[in-house]
Structure 1
Amino acid sequence: MIKIITESKDRVSDEVIEYLLAKGVSFKRINSDIFSSFSETISKADYVNGEIIWHRRAFRRLNPSEIQKYPFIYNLLDEEDVVNKFIEKKNCFKNTIYYGGYVEESQHNKLYDLYLANKFGLKVPSTLITNVKSELKAFKQIHNKIITKPIKDLIRFRSENYIYSSPGTFLIEEKHFNLLEEHFAISIFQEYIEKDIEIRVFYFDGFFFSMAIFSQNDEKTKIDFRNYNFEKQNRFIPFKLDKVIKKKIKKFLKYKKINTCSIDLILTPENEFVFLEINPQGQFGWLSKNCNYFIEKFIAQKLIFDNERISK
């Protein structure tokens, strides 16, 4: 049986399912944003059965929506989190082929990823994590041009009429130092690395789908292509990753026990690859469309192949 854990509005999941329907393959879709009933018995009678699970997005919603308004909801969400992690770990232990997952996404640590990537031979930007102004000044004196960005996610909050969001990646200038006390909120800072192109990679079970992003042609996206210019899109083309860099990434992901994710890299004017980050449940639909990779079809075929193999 093929199971797909995703969100009701996830377009790439829809397209993968369209291929499954076209081939007449049975599957079960679990939308994480819709409540689903769940029961599990742990006993000596537990048996091993084969399943193919693609955990595309988020996690299973196990608390009824009515509970969301309760004052103690955060305690219940913590318990829901434990059950979701149990489901995934149990399925990975059984005779199950499991792509993606919730555990790595929920505890994803970009700082540790930088540390590990460096240990596996990938070049990473010199990075400072600090809450001390004097340390930051010393770091800037060494690297001259430095950037900051969220350690985890963008900060967003809603008022009555507006939605506010933090600016993403930006250069640190002298004016920013004037706004800081000697101690401030813990933050991340990195040396700014000149880019020839930015590279977005989608990885699935040993296969790489890579795209070059010509972000340097636009002042708005020059620091980071995710500072999108919606009026004038960057140019995207397919890109073939070097065998050496692919080998290093595979070792890194194998150590982390990740079999699918999105990866951000830089290619410098000196033709060096620099690792920036991975996103365990990162988007890939735009990469697939811009480069005509038909990743959705590839995933569907992989799920079908594995399902037939495990059913024999």
Structure 2
Amino acid sequence: MIILLTIGYERTSDEIVDYFLFYNKKYIRINCDTLKDSNSFYFGYKLNENLSKIKVNSKEINLDEKKVIWNRRISRRTFIDRFLDKKIDFENSRLFSQFVFKDWESFLKIFVNRLSKNTFWFDYPFVKEDKIDVLLLAQKNGLTIPETIITNSLEEINYKEYITKPLSSTTGFKHGNKFYSTYTTIVKKVKHKFLPSLLQKRIDKRYEVRTFYLDGECYSMAIFSQNDKQTEVDFRRYNYKKPNRNIPYKLPHYMEDNIRKLMNDLDLKTGSIDIIKGKDDIYYFLEVNPVGQFGMTSKPCNYNLEKKVFEKLIQYEQNF
């Protein structure tokens, strides 16, 4: 049995489903973000008897059967304003939202745990290591990371230009009809007091490299983001009128070997990795996103990664 653990609208998942349909292979797709609103979803877990029953689209999943589960994405930020009384004040609205998100995340962990019986994960959804752990592991495995400090004071900063980014994952904010996201940013002005923040020396770059790692293989793409003021610090500030030039790229063998060692330590079979090639000809590792987008690498470079993921899932199911 192959299960695709994903969300309702996710283009990569849709394209992989197309391969299952084309080759007439069986699969179960679970859109985790819509479970809470679905009348055809049932979950029951009797703790005293350690018995579970899960139905998706009114069809019961045989938890004793061998399963290969591809974790594409299990959560999406949703706005719950529609459930709130319009008279509720901001502080209570914030607390209620935090409570709902935290409780749903707790349920998802229980749900994943019950699915895990007789399961080969590709990959397990709840990675233990955070961004800082990953940077330290990358350095341990021979990858160079930018000069990095977490501090609430500028006294120890001895480089001319530096950037800041969130200590955890990025997030987005909705205000009116607009959506705002957090980006890597050059620090230009700092208040006398600020919360402990992640600061890194700004790398004078030749280009960026986005690598999709798939079970031991590295599929890389060079992004010439430095040629555009809008994208030179963070290529995710996409310039849709004049997009960055993207080309297939081959990392040196030692870089791919070190990436394999890192991914093995993280127990990950897939992930999107961000790297900067500096003008000093050093490759700087930035981060790995276990559920990062890879369509942006697959299509410009003709890697056809969606089919490769499909083939891996079939291969693991046959060999399980």
Pick aligned residue for 2:223 from 206, 213, 218: 213
Offset, 1:277: 0.7
Q: Does structure 1 retain, via aligned residues, the 8 Å contact 2:69–2:121?
A: yes
* Paired residue secondary structure (2:279): coil
2:5 alignment partner, SS class: strand
Q: Hey, what's the Cα distance between the residues in 2 that align with 1:5 and 1:143?
A: 44
CA distance in 2, matches of 1:204, 1:96: 19
User: d(CA) in 1 for partners of 2:178 and 2:99?
Assistant: 29
For residue 293 of structure 1, report the CA deviation from its aligned partner: 0.5
Give TM-score, length-normalised by structure 2.
0.82
How many angstroms apart in 2 are the aligned matches of 1:6 and 1:54?
8
Task: Name 1:118's counterpart in structure 2.
Answer: 139
Alignment of 1:1-312 (within 5 A): 1-35=1-35, 36-41=41-46, 43=49, 49-59=65-75, 74-75=98-99, 77-89=101-113, 91-92=115-116, 94-104=117-127, 109-132=130-153, 136-139=154-157, 142-154=158-170, 156-166=172-182, 168-173=183-188, 176-177=189-190, 180-181=191-192, 183-310=193-320
Measure, in 2, the Cα distance between the counterparts of 1:236 and 1:60.
28
In structure 2, what residue type is equivalent to 1:216?
Q
Gaps of 5+ in 1: none
Distance 2:176 2:223 in 1: 37
Point out the more displaced range, 109-118 or 26-35: 109-118
Q: Corresponding residue for 2:56?
A: none
CA shift for structure 1 position 77: 4.2
**What are the Cα deviations for residues 232-277 of structure 1, in whole angstroms up to 9, with x where unaligned?**
1111111112221111111112112122111000112333211001
Q: Deviations over 1:17-73 (max 9, x none)?
A: 111111111110001221132224565789853111001012499xxx9x9659866
TM-superposed CA distance for 1:90, in Å, is 5.5
Q: 1-side partners of 2:287 and 2:298: how far apart? A: 20
Q: CA deviation at 1:3?
A: 0.3
Change (3 A) 1:162 1:73: closer
> 1:76 deviation in Å?
5.3
Query: What letter corresponds to residue 170 of structure 1 in structure 2?
Result: T
| Percentage identity across paired residues of the two chains | 36
Cα separation, partners in 2 of 1:251 and 1:90, compared to 1, 3 Å = farther
Residues 207 and 231 (structure 1), Cα distance of their counterparts in 2 relative to 1, 3 Å cut: same
When residues 304 and 268 of structure 1 are mapped into structure 2, their CA distance, relative to the original with a 3 A threshold, is: same
| Equivalent pair of 2:209/2:276 in contact (CA under 8 Å) | yes
C-alpha distance after superposition, 1:268-287 (max 9, x if no partner):
23332110011111111111
CA contact (8 A) 1:5 1:60 kept: no
Contact 1:204–1:261 (CA<8 Å) still a contact in 2? yes
**Shift, 1:79, TM fit:** 4.0
Structure 1 pair 81–155 and aligned structure 2 pair: CA distance change class (3 A): closer
Letter in structure 1 aligned against 2:145:
V
CA distance in 1, matches of 2:288, 2:168: 12
Tell me the CA shift for residue 97 of structure 1: 1.6
For structure 2, the 5+ residue unaligned runs are 36-40, 53-62, 86-92
Greater CA deviation, 12-21 or 300-309?
300-309
Q: CA separation of 1:126/1:4 partners in 2, compared to 1, >3 Å: closer, same or farther?
A: same
Distance 2:280 2:302 in 1: 29
Whether the 8 Å CA contact 1:5–1:59 is kept in 2: the answer is no
Q: 1:129 to 1:304 in 2, by over 3 A?
A: same
Cα distance, 1:158 vs structure 2: 2.9
SS at match of 1:112: helix
**TM-score, normalised by the number of residues in structure 1:** 0.84
For residues 75-110 of structure 1, give each alpha carbon's deviation from its aligned partner in whole angstroms, at most 9, with x where no partner exists. Answer: 454344234224435555x43221133212xx6621
Q: Which amino acid aligns with 1:188?
A: L
> 1:123, CA displacement in angstroms?
0.3
